[in-house]
Amino acid sequence: MSQSFDEISAQLRRRHRKSARLKWISMGALGLAGLFLVLFFADMLGKGMPAFQQAQVQVEIDYNEDAQRMGRAALDPEVSRLVSRTFERLIPGQIRDNPELLGTTETRWVLADSQVDQYLKGHRHKLSESQKATVDALVEQGRAELKFNTTFFTTGDSKMPEASGILSAAVGTVLTMLVTLAIAFPIGVMTAVYLEEFAPDNRLTQIIEININNLAAIPSILFGLLGLAIFINFFGVPRSSPLVGGMTLALMTLPVIIIATRTALRSVPDSIRHAAFGVGCSQWQVVRDHVLPLAMPGIMTGSIIGLAQAMGETAPLIIVGMVAFIPDVSASFAEAATVLPAQVFTWAGEPDKAFVEKTAGGILVLLAILIFLNASAVILRKKFERRW
């Protein structure tokens, strides 16, 4: 059975078309993944950028007798509905602290209620028609406008969207990460040094190695169960504190640091070790004075990446109770605190729609920090990594 040349070349063309199709399909898959990324960032930016602006209203505050008991009385009843209640609540206290304020008046820009904020941003709001008219009039007089939202960066959590901020969560994140690093970095580096430089090739070493690889793949929520059962219930570490959160995250970050450090140690050429041994260094002296300094850029890069991973982690922290309502900034390792991703989680669960933009705003801050960390890890590697 013979085929004509035409048939054969037609078949060949078909086969090449098929081959080209595979190329386009696979290219499309990569493009799809890239598209997801672009869509995701566009969505987050679109939802989160409004959070960095906040409506403010210029009001006349009349420190009269009634305002001593009820802050609302200090304001014109027409605008008092439009002003954040957190501000009104502070007025009686101010009068108590400064009795000479009584009887005076003052014109100031103050936080507007979240509904006014949403209205000015063109989102869904619950203002009545008359309130809308008042706001429109205020805008016309230049007495209500959107300004840069400093509150978002200078306060802790609040039940009122306009008064809630990320500062307490940011402080909690810093404290937790300090604990994590203080535990995971030394132990991780020591483990890696032992496995790469000291360990004999025996059963125990193999078990440790398998165990570390396995630890890296255990779901993070199980670390939360460990933190709850062992750190909190058994050792009595205070619940919800940066201490217990940091310890839990440290165990999670450990494998990342160990694996990165081992790679860095392995990339230091043996000639360095041989030269150091040759001039009479002991094993520890070789490691301390020669191998570790040369491997340091790689170790730092790995640790920063591990830290970034721990910083975005939420699930184990929920289990150890770090999703708490923390209105005040506390700089203690043993008191209840929350972290940025946990704050995002809390806000995402708020029924008030005005919290959606707060959530996305918090996400943008978190992503900015993570991008900064990862970028600095990349730069560190580019700048200091030596190719042998």
Partner 1 sequence: MQTDQLLALFSGILLLLGLIAFFIGRAKATRVRATGTAMFAQPDQYAWFAVLATAGPAITVGILGAILMLLLGAKIPPLYLLAGSLVVAAVGLTVGVRQVRPDFHARQAIERVIRFILVGAALISIFTTFGILFSIVFEALRFFKMHSFWEFITGTVWNPGASFLAAAGRAEEGASAAQFGSVPLFAGTFMITAIAMLVAIPVGLLSAIYMAEFAPQRVRTLAKPTLEVLAGIPTVVYGFFAAITVAPIIVSVAGFFGLDASFNNAVAPGIVMGIMIIPFISSLSDDVINSVPDSMRQGSLALGMTKGETIRDVVVPAALPGIISASLLAVSRALGETMIVVMAAGMRPNLTANPLEDMTTVTVRIVAALTGDLEFESAETLSAFALGLVLFAVTLTLNLVSVLMIRRFREKYRVNNL
Pick out residues in 361-380 that bind partner 1 (CB under 8 A): 363, 366-367, 370, 374, 378
Binding positions for partner 1, 185-244, rule CB under 8 A: 186-187, 190-191, 193-195, 198-199, 207-208, 210-215, 217-226, 228-230, 233-235
In the bound state with partner 1, the residue whose beta carbon lies nearer, of 187 and 272, is 187
Q: How far is the CB of 315 from partner 1 (least distance, A)?
A: 4
Work out which of 83, 319, 326, 337 binds partner 1, going by CB under 8 A: 319
Distance separating alpha carbons of residues 247 and 184, to the nearest angstrom: 8
Nearer to partner 1, 108 or 382 (CB): 382
> Is residue 345 near partner 1 by the rule CB under 8 A?
yes
Instruction: Give start and end residues of each alpha helix (H) in 49-166.
Output: 77-80, 85-97, 114-120, 129-140, 151-154
CB of 272 to partner 1, least distance (A): 19
Tokens at 92, concatenated: 């009686």
Nearer to partner 1, 127 or 370 (CB): 370
Give the integer Cα–Cα distance in Å for 388 and 386: 6
Q: Segment near partner 1 (CB under 8 A), from 42-50, 53-61, 104-112, 116-124?
A: 42-50
Contact range with partner 1 by CB under 8 A, out of 30-38, 57-65, 72-80, 271-279: 30-38
Residue 95 to residue 70: CA distance in whole angstroms: 11
Question: Distance from CA of residue 239 to its chain's centroid?
Answer: 21
Q: Is 313 a residue that touches partner 1 (CB under 8 A)? A: yes
Least Å distance between CB 347 and partner 1? 9
Select 23 or 383, whichever has its Cβ closest to partner 1: 23
3-state secondary structure of 385: coil
Distance CA 119, CA 261 (A): 53
Q: Which one among 73, 237, 254, 307 touches partner 1, defined by CB under 8 A?
A: 254
Tokens 């008042």 sit at which residue? 134
Cβ proximity to partner 1: between 21 and 69 the closer is: 21
In the DSSP assignment, the letter for residue 76 is -
Token pair 């040094």 in the structure block, residue? 193
Alpha helices by DSSP H, the chain = 5-48, 77-80, 85-97, 114-120, 129-140, 151-154, 167-193, 203-215, 220-226, 242-266, 270-278, 283-286, 292-311, 315-319, 340-348, 354-384
**Footprint (CB under 8 A) of partner 1, residues 79-98:** none
Q: Does residue 26 interact with partner 1 by CB under 8 A?
A: yes
- Under 8 Å between Cβ of 78 and 134: yes
Closest to partner 1 by CB, 187 or 329: 187
User: What is d(CA 302, CA 306) in angstroms, rounded to the nearest whole number?
Assistant: 6
Closer of 87 and 223 to partner 1 (Cβ)? 223
| β-sheet bridge partners, residue 111 | 56
116's CB contacts (< 8 A; 6+ apart) are 55, 57, 82, 125, 127, 135, 144
Smallest CA-to-CA distance from 221 within 105, 345, 316 is with 316
Q: Does 178 participate in binding partner 1 (rule CB under 8 A)?
A: no
Return the number of the residue (21 or 274) whose C-beta is nearest partner 1: 21
From the list 16, 89, 147, 274, which residue makes contact with partner 1 (rule: CB under 8 A)? Answer: 16
Site for partner 1 (CB under 8 A): which residue of 28, 93, 269, 293?
28
